[in-house]
Chains A and B, each alone.
Chain A
């Protein structure tokens, strides 16, 4: 009497959510012994040998080579002798019958459905990028064991190869110990003959080489790219966007920052940049035009007015676009905003931004000026009523005190959800931000009524669990 035992992919490292089956060493019908090496599996940390958990006959391989598998997904099943047979435990005298339980996960058992961190980085030469696990799995019977040995190269070289659509396994390295250099990749790229298209490399590379060589490359849509795309489409086609532009002379703010930072340098305070001033201006202006800090709750048929301002800062990170959030930005003040921005930037650069830091934004700033761009029509972060894009600050001939002078000029672009924000309100908000940046002293005229949850909120309300319940300032 026999029974079928299904083996699910375990967490082979510590807290990993997915792995790639690099090679199967058995096929259906093969007889295997306990601990026999049946597959090579690559995690984000290592390529490991998978030992058979049973003695018996392989009945089915559920996942082909070269695909990502989530922890907990069945990958192979075995036909094993039942408890009354002379089966798998015949060589284990006296042992309890272990096969009545499925291979389980110990510890905290990462959620197999989760697509969040820790993420596995796709590498050229592996099939990591070939399939997001939720996608239909391509059948790659021809995937060869040749991928076990990854060509030696450095991450920048792999990136270059990927961008050129070159399969590194086809490149001969000339560096020390056969390491593939940038020059090797470039030289490979210009030799049409060298771009060989063989079946094995197609099956296992992230960027599939296609006839025509390096003129096109294809990357599977997945992970952050996929999430970003879905969010943008949803936002663009549910919220009617209006975008307004305002170009202003921010020389006084630049001068003020020099004064602030000169003073701060003596006391060791965090450096304050233009982004922090814009953030502060947004907080002040939002207090005067509350409708930019709202959400359209279609399901409830209600407009949600936020009495706090969680400021999202769109950031280009190595993983793609992210919008980490500065919570309660309206309570921080300029120095607090500068410090929060420094923390957020450091986390984004090092890829340590936590999921919590990405949630709960109510209004967003995006600084496209760092890319040398003047203006654009930003798409709203889904669920928010407004997004402000900062352009590059340029020395520009500008009217100044009745004459033309070279001044520091910036263009602000504000997109808002016209369901929530009328033209008058959006315009006033943008004008207020511009007024502060053009003449920071004007902020003094806007301080009255500041503090969306009460002007003394930082002291008296912070201990409360529900600051939204306190009286908003009129």
Chain B
């Protein structure tokens, strides 16, 4: 049985779809549910897998099946994997294509030119974007109830996390190729939700930015968050993790590894990253 506020919310969002469809805001026809949905972006892949009803989602991108970047890699194997070329996607005869708003411009334009309906999702850059995107996915797939349940659960968990007192500690993310996440990124929001401050932000970095090892050491965050050891074969990009200066630096403070699949896309798993950070800040020396 549905509880009252829940019912109200889904009624409201249902009405929004109706109004939006009349105004032409949502390009999917409001009354015929898309049945052949193809997703081209690792983030829309995961949202769609969570929200769609069985059989509705036809294909997800090959990245969705890569455990290094996708939190739902296991589930993604059940779908046809696409490599994002317009030709390949068009041959699947989709009635709805889901895409990220930055990466696949030419493919999206080509598909629209061929008369395919495309819904674009901008990447989440704050935690509030996540329930918003989940609800929007519910609208375009006409699965509002499922989406509302997920979004509501996310909001409740986020509220519980944010109600905890600040830890007073700082953290800095250190990725392959010496990249970090500065202000205005999803990672920045995750750090804040964990009750910490982002060291990369107070040394003036915003967006995904280059953080030389020297600057990381001089900034001296309490917790160093390492990402992306996930690949078996070596590359120079990950050589920075093996640098003796980093090893010495980490020895004298806390460090933790947060898998990139939790932070690349906004989704329910994103809060898991915040919980990991919180646990390191509160607990003993991390791993």
Does A pair with B?
no
Binding site for A on B (CB under 8 A): none
Binding site for B on A (CB under 8 A): none
